[in-house]
Amino acid sequence: MEKITGAEAMMRSLEHEGVKILFGYPGGAIMPSYDALYDHKQTLNHILVRHEQAAIHAAQGYARVSGKVGCCIVTSGPGAMNTITGVADAMIDSTPVVVICGQVGAAMLGTDAFQEVDVIGVTQPITKWAYQIRRAEDIPWAVSRAFYIARSGRPGPVVLDFAKNAQTALIEYQPQQVDFIRSYNPDPISPKSVIEEAARLINESVKPFMLVGQGVELGGAREELLALCEKAQIPFGETLLGLSAAPSDHPLNMGMLGMHGNLAPNVMTNQCDLLIAVGMRFDDRVTGNLKTYAKQAKIIHFEIDPSEIGKNVKPTLAVLGNCKHTLAEVTKLVDTATHKAWIDGFAPYAEKEEQKVITPALHPTEGPLLMGEVVRRVSEAAHNEAILVTDVGQNQMFGCRYFKYTKPRSVVTSGGCGTMGFGIPAAIGATFGAPDRTVCMFCGDGGFQMTIQELGTIMEQQCPVKMILLNNNFLGNVRQWQYMFFNKRYSFTPMINPDYELIAKAYNIPCRTVIHREDLDAAIHDMLTTEGPYLLQCAIKEEDNVLPMTPPGANVDEMMLEVK
Give the length of the chain: 564
Return d(Cα 208, Cα 222) in angstroms, integer: 19
Return d(Cα 79, Cα 83) in angstroms, integer: 7
Residue 379 has pLDDT above 80, yes or no: yes
Return d(Cα 269, Cα 548) in angstroms, integer: 16
Mean pLDDT of 74-81: 98
Return d(Cα 221, Cα 411) in angstroms, integer: 16
Q: pTM, whole model, 2 decimals?
A: 0.97
Mean pLDDT of 373-388: 98
Tens-digit pLDDT profile for residues 98-129? 999 999 999 999 999 999 999 999 999 999 99
DSSP at 357:
I
pLDDT at 123: 98
pLDDT at 2: 87
| Residue 144 backbone zone (phi > 0: left; psi -120 to 50: alpha; other: beta) | alpha
Residue 564 has pLDDT above 90, yes or no: no
DSSP sequence for 170-192: EEE---------TT--SS----H
| SS3 label, residue 310 | coil
Residue 1 has pLDDT above 90, yes or no: no
Tens-digit pLDDT profile for residues 172-211? 999 999 999 999 999 999 999 999 999 999 999 999 999 9
Return d(Cα 128, Cα 178) in angstroms, integer: 16
- Nearest residue to 551 via CA among 272, 265, 289: 289
Residue 241 has pLDDT above 90, yes or no: yes
Residue 29 has pLDDT above 80, yes or no: yes
Residue 229 has pLDDT above 80, yes or no: yes
DSSP at 69:
P
